Structures are given as structure tokens and as C-alpha cells.
Amino acid sequence: MGSVMRPIPFRKLLSWILEEREKYSSVFGISQVKFFEKKTSASLQLFGEYLDTPIGPAAGPHTQLAQNIVASYLCGGRFFELKTVQVLDQLDIPKPCIDAGDECYNVEWSTELTVEEAFAEYVKAWFLLHVLQKELWDLEQRGFIFNMSVGYDLKGIKSPKVDKFIEGLKDASQTGIFQECKKILKEEIKRFARVDEGFIDSISPNICNSVTLSTMHGCPPAEIETICRYLLAEKKMHTFVKLNPTLLGYTFVKDALARMGYNYIHLKEESFSHDLQYDDGLALLKRLQGFAREHGRSFGVKLSNTLPVKNTKGELPGEEMYLSGRALYPLTINLAARLAAEFAGRLKISYAGGGDAFNVPHIFATGIWPITVATTLLKPGGYLRLKQIAEELEPYLQDMVSDTVDVEKLAELAAGAFKDPDYHKEKRGGSSRKLVKKLPLTDCFIAPCTAGCPIGQDIPEYIRLVGEKRYLEAYELIIAKNPLPFITGSLCPQFCAAKCTRLDYDEPVCIREIKRMAAENGCRAYLQQRVKTERKSPARVAVIGAGPAGLAASYFLARAGLNVTIFDKREKPGGTVAYIIPPFRIAGEAIARDLELVKGAGVEFKLGIDPDFSLAQLKREGYKYVYLAIGAGEPKALDLKVGGEKVVSAIEFLEKFKAGRSVVQLGKKVAVIGGGDVAMDAARAALRVAGVEKVYIIYRRTKEYMPARREELQEALAEGIILKELLSPHSWSGGVLQCQKMQLGEPDASGRRSVVPLEGEFENIAVDAVISATGQGVDYGILKKNGIEVNAQGEIAINPATNETNVENVFLGGDALRGPATIVEAIADGSKVARAILAREGIGRQTSTLVSFEEGKRLQQINLKKGTLQAAAPDLEKEHERCLECGFACNICTEVCPNRANIAVEVAGGSLQQINQIVHVDGMCNECGNCATFCPYDGAPYKDKLTLFWSEDDFTNSQNNGFLLLTAGEKPVFKLRVDGRVLQVTFDASGRADVDLEKGILDLVWAVFKGYRYLF
């Protein structure tokens, strides 16, 4: 029933594992090719037990259920910090409870099961891991460790319920669930190849001899110490005590987060003042270390707990939430470094705090282990990410001989953490990968990059073609939708990259660069083989403007067989690209090669003509259709008081610079006003002008809110340009630019913070020239003169489906319609207009080239890439290896579900995308919301996908579309709900249903029944 998880009986779990592995070579959706198998005999020892590798899941969603622990183990987890139990085990935890979109937040802290249920899950998992270790790899020596976690006060830990839990994990031999599991294994003995009764009897009932103590924020030091002494002496447990990042102090943490760009994270000072203080904590640890030594037990710290922050995002319920993930790593590793130094490396540290494949090997190399992770496993790839970490740790195991922490090496790692861009907010930014598309019930695979591209470029396909060195096919595929691959391969703002799934792994695929590679290697072959286009219509089309919008429409129309003429006032085509964008951003040769493609399609150019065109005259000259792609060339005035000096518009300056920088004179110091891409171009160009020594960019907000692309800003700063934030130009006179100081105000509806002036506070900057890059406007006069309707707000009357104006057969697009926009958006407008004109002429536009791939090989290669973090390749030849080809095989919702509640199901017939369908299993879901976070659609798989219910009550108490098996047998009967309609459906032996319903839904239900009976 929605958020209520149903623990799966042991026999059922065992059958599920065995059947799925036999049928599909996977277990709980983990493909056997992603199982971790040790390649060396090296191992570690902890608490007197062997540990194959020191990595595993932290106490959290990945150690709450038996199947979660199994999934972790198969992928490489060997140290399992079981989810915390407490005496209050009937909590109503609000949902959703996890937001792991970038840095992670949660509002739950202990297991959602009762203490008894949690105990049973851990015992079931204990047996299953033993069986899998033997059955898969024929290993006798156990190489994994279970570490229990309890909280949150002494009274609760001493309660009969929790005490029974602790004693049961210390020795489970007399518990009913232990005996039941052993009995079932023996009853199912014939299903195993390597497991025999002797092995089953050898499974130790001593599940845990160690514990991690978790206390609530604000727990008094004396209480913490008393609990630790109780666990060490009376319970005789090796003990870790979990400490909080608040030990670092409010000011340190606040400043550190702001320095890394997380200045939107709001801390509560009382969370620090009420929590354990550093000096008290240090004294406490020293006393406990000695106490543990006296009692022959190990003692150490678990670093760190999550960080309490104010809930300002509104994504989760409640007023407070807990921070983890990459923003926590620099804090935790610095806390580790401080404590290690205090103890000269002789304090055992168990680590959790933003660990992933990039940093875990470095953490381990300092002598810190075991290391547990949670946030990284909540992201696409899920449990599969453990395999990479485990494999990368193997070489280090041979060298781990010391039991102390290398203080110097750890200090160096900690010092670099705050500077490392991997942990700065800017690395991920604030953009959302979500598409404005509803999640469909079936057939949901989608490439977010393609969907996010204004022209729907077939990105994963051309990336694979480039990877296979099929450059001609890649080029043909690109130009089917984009006639300017060289220009966009240099200048595209990459809306696609903002949607790339790799953004939730490491960094987006270098899509633009791969496009340019395809163009450079495929263009010549295409032009050599191309045949002349046959004219298919006598209709003539006039295109006004030879910028990207005009070029795109002209190319598509001419390629389809229409007679097209481009008119432009300038002497050469290309518009802004040819005349404004500086040569250090794009070479003239790149522009020329795209123009060659457009001209080769049969487009005629009339250049250097009178810009004062007349629609009536064009119609008299026989042009049936007119497309106005005239751009936005009117500079917006800068509200600046000047004393005789001239403020130069950025567009005017850039045009002169491109014509020949030697004729431009700016003086020694230049100020550029604005925060967009044009401002970056102007600033970088100004720095290249002879005599210029300093260039300032003046921006009224902070760089986090700049509209300029990150790469453009970074390149400008790398060249030495000085960014002056929170300044609004007020006056310029006598060589002094006076700027009003500003401060950030409250966020608006979009999350962008307003700015308000600091009354009476100014900053004076000595400059010789001021360049205004505050935007361009549209010349509405030329539109109105030709009868095109424009209202007082500058809104132009068009049909949004075709971009046709109120004047019949006259269309508008590009910057003239949108205002200053991007090249790819201009191409999208040109494409839309071309489609509309061709439709009127009864001519179909050529669609994307059909490309063939080896589907089986492709799927296998994609699966191998899942869960592997990999930074952008220095060698672009290998960059295609990072593309996850989501439109061919997505399954993100199955990967990110800790409970394995989203299942990929094979359905007979259709394409691979149709064969692979998603079913949601209601009884395994706690509605944490994680699949909703990472699904590229504006949807939530746990609500929106077809749901399998285990009981009548669960079916009734849910509103999900879904199904419930009523009776099995040769003619199974289901209760089925689709769009609020409830039906009873009977299938015959061949899978035909007795109701008229969408075939895809019925096929999916039948496929689950026939091939996945273990799900019921």
C-alpha cells in the first residue's frame, strides 16, 4: 500500500534469486556481467574477521531490506553498515524522504521497519550472501562483515526490544528466523550446484560483533560516552561512534559551503551550539579509546553523520533536512584530518561522507577504512557504482600493512578538497534534467539530450556512429536536422548537455565536440557524392536574412525541391556568426564549409541588397512564400549617466573587431556591462585589442546567476578578465565609472534572487572605455510597415505551430521573433517554417537517415558502461564510450531504486525500446521519491508506471494504474486498473485477453505472468 514496504519471505527471496539468475543471468536487476569478483587473494582483517574489500553501503536505504544488501554484495559491497534501529519503530516518516538530485537531502534517519522486521531482514541477507558467495565463486571463507547500527539514547538501546536485537545479531542461533532460513536452504538443496548441507551448517550464527552508535543531533557528551561504554563493556562490541560535521563549528562550515558555491544552503546556528563541541569531543574520544583498550575491544569514529540544514527547497516535507553527498565530502575529510592529527594517526576512522569512485581510492590510501557510501548509490547506475569502487581498491589492498592513518597524506587530501572543482556547486549547476513531458505508462525510453535539443538532433546515434568511425553516416544523420554542423559544432550552447544523464554521474558527454568531429571527417565525402536536387514545385520562396534562421529554412526547402532565394543587406552570408562572433570562437573556414552545404542544396543568394524590403514587391516578383529571418539588431540603451563619453554597444564593437582589430582603440582599461555570452565575447575581444591592459565585466548579480554559459565565463576568467559582481553602473565621467553596490534579495518564483541597491554605497572604477552588452532589440518598424501585427508589448502575432504571421504565407523566425537567442533555436525556427511551407506544397521533408546497429552488441556495451564514473576523455576519440544511449536503453528508475521496486521486463515483439518495459512493484516501495528525481520525464515511476500489487487491500488503497493476480493456472485472471477504470481480465493460454484494451498494457501484464512469476 503505497509507502508500506512488505518484507519478502526467505523462501520467496531465494526462489526469486535462483529463477532470475537462471532465466536472465541477473539478480534483482543486477546483470551477472556487473557482479564483482575479486582478482587477487589480498584481503583485510577487521574485528578479527576477514574483509575482501573495505567498501560497502552506509546505514541507509541500501541496507534496509535483504534484497538491498544482496544487490550491494553482488556489485562489490563487503562492509555492510546495517540501517539504524531504535526503540521508536512505528514512526510515520513523511514522503518523499530523499532528494538526491545533486548534493543529497533526506528527512528519515532510521529503518522504517519494526525492530523485529529489521532483524529478520538482516538474518535473511546474512544467509543469502553466504549462499551466493559459495554458489557463484565457490568460496568457503567469508569475506564480508555486517556492522549493526543502533540509536539514539541509552534508554532506548537498553529497552528489551533493542537489546534483543543486539543479542540476536551477536548470536542468532536460537532465533526463529535463523532456524527457518537454515531449514529452507536444506529443503531447497537440490536447486544448488555448490551449496550442500555441510556448508549450510557451517554458516555462523554470529552475525555482528561490532556496532556503530548513531545519536541524535544535540545529544549531550555524557550520554554519548555512557552509551559507548555500555556497548564496549557490557555488550562486548567493537564500537564506532558516529560524529557530526557540526564539530567543525558554525562559521567554518558556513564559510566553506559558501566558498564552494552552496550559499543557498541555510544552516541553523543552534544545530552547532547544541551539538557536541570539538574540545569536548576530543576529550571524550581519548577517554573511550583507553576504555576500549582496557576491555580488549576496538574503538573508533564514524565520520560523518549528515549535516542538519533548513528546508528551504520545499522538495521534501518538514522544516529540517539532512545534507549528504558531494557537498559534505570536503567537510568530512577535513574533520577526519583534524582528528587524525590530534591522535597522531592512531584513531580508527570509519568513513562516510560524499564517497564515490573518484575519491574512495584516495581516502583508503591514507589508511582510513572501512568506507561506506550512500548518495552515489542513489544516482543513475545505483548499486552498479560499487563495482568500479571495489575494482579500483584492489591494487591498494596489497600495500595496506599499517593500521594507522597517514596524517600527512590525509592533510594533503583534505587541503585539496575545498579547491577541487568536483565538489563545487558550479560543476553540476542548478539546471534540472527534467523534460516537460509526461511519463508514459509504457514505451518510455527517451534520450534526454535529443528531447532537450531545440531541433531534436539524434545525438546518441551520431555519437555511436562517430565511435564506430562511420563519419559519413554520422554527418548525414546530423544534417538531416541541422545544416550548420560546423557552426553548431563550435558555438552551440548545448541544451543537450544540460539534459545529459552523465550530468548525474560526473560531467556531460562532449556532444558538441563529437558533432564537430563528425562534420570534419564526413563533410567532404558527402559533398563529393551528392547529386543535384530535383525541383518538385514551381513555388518560389524568398528568405530575408542570411543568418542561421534563414540559412536553415533555405537549406531544408531547397533540399526538398523548392526554389529558394536568400536576400541579405550584407555582402556575405552568415549573419551574426560571420560578422559579430569573434574569430577566437569560430574559424572562418568552419562557417565557409556550412555555407558550402547550403549553397550545394541549390539555394540562390542575393547579397548587398536594399534592406528596406517590401512584401508586396516580393509577391509581385513571384515569390509565393516569404520567411522573415531578419534578426535583432537594435542595441538596447544602457541607463548610464555620461559626461560626454560614448558608450559603445557590444555588437558594434565586435563587428569592428572582427573586421580588423587594428582599427579599434579602447585605451588601457575597459569595462563591459552585462552578464551574457555577448558580454563574454566583448570582454575577451577587448583584451586582445592593442594597448588594453585590464578588462572588467560589471554584473549586477553574482556569477551564479549570470546568463552566460559556464564555459564562456570560465574562459574569460582564465584569460585574466576581472569579474566585478553586485555592481550596477550609475555614471561615467572623467574616466571614472561609478557603480552602485548591490546585494542579493529574496528568490523570485524561478529561484533567481533579485538585487536591491545598498543605499549610498558606490564603487569607482577607472576606465577608458565602456562597452554595453545588455541586449539587443527587434526593429518592429520594418514589420509594421509590411502589415505584420505587433502589439504594444512587442508581441508579434504568429501561429505558434507554423510561425506564420497574420499576413498569409509570410513567416517569421529567429531573433526577430524570439529576441536575441541561440543559433540552434534559430535553426529550429527555420526548420519549423520549412516544414509548414512544404506541407502546403504537399511535399514531405526528408527525415533522419535510418541507421543500423548490432542491437545485441549495442545493448551489451551500454550495460557495461552503466554505473561507471568517467570524466570527459582527454582523447576525443574515446569520448563516445561515455554516452549511455538512454533512448535505446534507459532503465534509470530501476537503477536508482534502493529496494529494487522498479523492474525491467522483456515483452515479446516490437523494437528493443518496446520489448523493455518497466513494472513497479508496490509492496517493495516506500515512496522515497528517488526514481522521480532521476526519471528524465516530468513524472514519478513509482506513481506513473504500471504497478504490480500483492494484495486486494494494496490495490484498493492505491490510485496507480496497475494489476493484481486473482487466480493463476492456464487461464490466469487479473484485476486491472487503467485511467481509473477497473476491469477483470482473463488471459487464455496463448496470452490473448478477453477485454478490448491497449495492446501494450495487456502484453506487459502477460509478459510479467509468463516470465516473471517470482514477482507475484
Per-residue pLDDT reduced to its tens digit, 495-552:
999 999 999 999 999 999 999 999 999 999 999 987 777 888 899 999 999 999 999 9
Amino acid letter, 618: L
In this prediction, residues 734-748 reach a mean pLDDT of 89
What's the grid cell of residue 825? 533555436
Contact at 8 Å (CB) between 339 and 303?
A: yes
Minimum mean pLDDT range among 183-197, 661-675, 687-701: 661-675
Minimum mean pLDDT range among 123-132, 447-456, 869-878: 869-878
In this prediction, residues 79-98 reach a mean pLDDT of 92
Residue 1 pLDDT more than 60? no
pLDDT in tens, 21-38: 999 999 999 999 999 999
Q: Give the length of the chain.
A: 1016
**For residues 452 and 768, what is the distance between their CA atoms, to the nearest angstrom?**
42
**For residues 430 and 943, what is the distance between their CA atoms, to the nearest angstrom?**
25
Q: What is the dihedral of CA 788, 793, 794, 795, to 10 degrees?
A: -60
Q: Is 874 helix (H, G, I), strand (E, B) or coil?
A: coil
pLDDT confidence of 463, banded at 50, 70, 90? very high
**For residues 422 and 416, what is the distance between their CA atoms, to the nearest angstrom?**
11
pLDDT at site 94: 84
DSSP letters for 698-747:
E-SS-GGG--S-HHHHHHHHHTTPEEE-SEEEEEEETTEEEEEEEEEEEE
pLDDT at site 846: 67
Residue 265 pLDDT more than 60? yes
pLDDT confidence of 911, banded at 50, 70, 90? low
In this prediction, residues 885-891 reach a mean pLDDT of 93
What's the grid cell of residue 708? 552566460
Per-residue CA distances from 792 to 638, 789, 817 (Å): 21, 10, 15
Whether pTM exceeds 0.85 = yes
**For residues 511 and 531, what is the distance between their CA atoms, to the nearest angstrom?**
30
In this prediction, residues 852-876 reach a mean pLDDT of 89
Residue 750 pLDDT more than 70? no
pLDDT at site 832: 97
Amino acid letter, 209: N
pLDDT at site 218: 80
Closest C-alpha among 190, 278, 72 to residue 898: 72
**For residues 250 and 267, what is the distance between their CA atoms, to the nearest angstrom?**
8
What's the grid cell of residue 681? 565575447
Q: Which residues of 76-88 are buried (b: 16+ CB within 10 A; e: fewer)?
A: bbbbbbbbbbbbe
Place of cell 560516552: 225
pLDDT in tens, 820-860: 899 999 999 999 999 999 999 999 776 666 788 888 889 88
What's the grid cell of residue 140? 568457503
Helices (H), 910-991: 912-915, 930-934, 941-944, 952-956
| Alpha carbon 58 to chain centroid, angstroms | 21
What average pLDDT is seen over the chain? Answer: 94
Residue 227 pLDDT more than 80? yes
**For residues 874 and 406, what is the distance between their CA atoms, to the nearest angstrom?**
32
What's the grid cell of residue 418? 575545498
pLDDT at site 910: 61
pLDDT in tens, 544-568: 999 999 999 999 999 999 999 999 9
**For residues 890 and 887, what is the distance between their CA atoms, to the nearest angstrom?**
6
pLDDT at site 432: 85
Residue 714 pLDDT more than 60? yes
The alpha-carbon radius of gyration of the chain (Å, integer) is 32
CA atoms within 13 A on the CB side of 940: 14
Contact at 8 Å (CB) between 330 and 417?
A: yes
Stated as kind and residue range, the H or E segment containing 308 is: strand 307-310
CA atoms within 13 A on the CB side of 822: 19
Contact at 8 Å (CB) between 928 and 97?
A: yes
pLDDT in tens, 318-356: 999 999 999 999 999 999 999 999 999 999 999 999 999
Residue 611 pLDDT more than 70? no
Contact at 8 Å (CB) between 223 and 154?
A: yes
Count the Cβ atoms, other than its own, within 10 Å of residue 58. 27
CA atoms within 13 A on the CB side of 854: 5
Per-residue CA distances from 593 to 523, 526, 588 (Å): 8, 12, 9
pLDDT confidence of 88, banded at 50, 70, 90? very high
**For residues 743 and 725, what is the distance between their CA atoms, to the nearest angstrom?**
10
Closest C-alpha among 448, 548, 436, 489 to residue 829: 548
In this prediction, residues 428-453 reach a mean pLDDT of 92
Residue 909 pLDDT more than 80? no
Give strand pairing partners of 566: 543, 605
